[in-house]
Amino acid sequence: MASPQIILYTNPNCPWAQRAHIALKELGLPYEEVFIDVEKPREDWHLAINPKGQVPTLSYDGTIITESGIVAQFLADAHPVTETGTGTVSKAGLLLPLNSLDGAIQRARIAYFVDACVSKVYPVLVGIIMNGESHNTSTERLVDVIEKDIEPLLALTSDEGRERFFGGSESLTLAEVLVGPFLLWIFTLVKTEYGVLSGDLVSALQIRAPRFESWGARVVAHESVRHVLDEEWVGKSLKGRWEGAVAKRKSKVEE
Ligand SMILES: N[C@@H](CCC(=O)N[C@@H](CS)C(=O)NCC(=O)O)C(=O)O
């Protein structure tokens, strides 16, 4: 297959857009990047390809695909793992072969996992930042939700001492592509220079959600995920929002 012409309309600091960047890097697909300033009104040409005016928007040989989860799934579907006659994987891919029952089960598990992360953990994380929650409260809330809703789903990420990705995969799956940007938030915000989340979060996770902690650390260290992180931008901008909310809470209490 000739290399497709791929254009990604993006803002690299947007976690949803980062999903597309991670998928493209992991699949080894070259692409052109068009920067969209989401703080400014969208231009007509952008609204014509994506009426929501959002990033990411993907143009794949001229076909427009929007919504980050759909963009990443599309890229994985369009570039599946292919096996050689000897059963070895011949090129990068994010899913098991499309037509196998194992592949279908793996995709269902990934979809369930990503939904749990986005519907249970993400709102807690955003709430902590937007409401300026204290370290004690935020550690408790995050560890509670991760221990209850995510940890049980990561049973196969470590296998006889071998460290794996979702479902026991040796390489990144769509689960890591779709959740990676939010893991980068967590593992950046615990750093002392940002301090939005308590440094104790990591040790609490090691005790109550050890699979999540070691899997998350492995994911954020992976080149395909890590390359999207402008740590200073993410750390400083989320810290600024959190500190603003902390100050607002304090002034309300003092009133
Ligand atoms: N559900 C969308 C969310 C994308 C999104 O919210 N992108 C933000 C930037 S992080 C955006 O484009 N905001 C501009 C706007 O909504 O006008 C997806 O997953 O692609």
| Mean pLDDT of successive 10-residue stretches along the chain, which has 255 residues | 90 97 94 96 96 97 98 91 55 69 88 97 98 96 98 81 83 94 98 96 97 96 97 97 94 81
pLDDT of amino acid 91? 47
Q: Which atom of ligand 1 is nearest to the CA of 55?
A: 12
> Could you give all domains of the chain from N- to C-terminal order, each with its CATH number?
6-78 (3.40.30.10), 101-254 (1.20.1050)
Assess whether the C-beta atom of 34 lies below 6 angstroms from ligand 1.
Answer: no
Most informative mutation of 38, 174, 233, 234 for ligand 1 (most atoms within 8 A of CB): 38
Residue carrying structure tokens 């996992």: 113
Q: Which atom of ligand 1 is nearest to the CA of 56?
A: 20
Residue nearest to atom 2 of ligand 1 (CA): 67
pLDDT of amino acid 1? 61
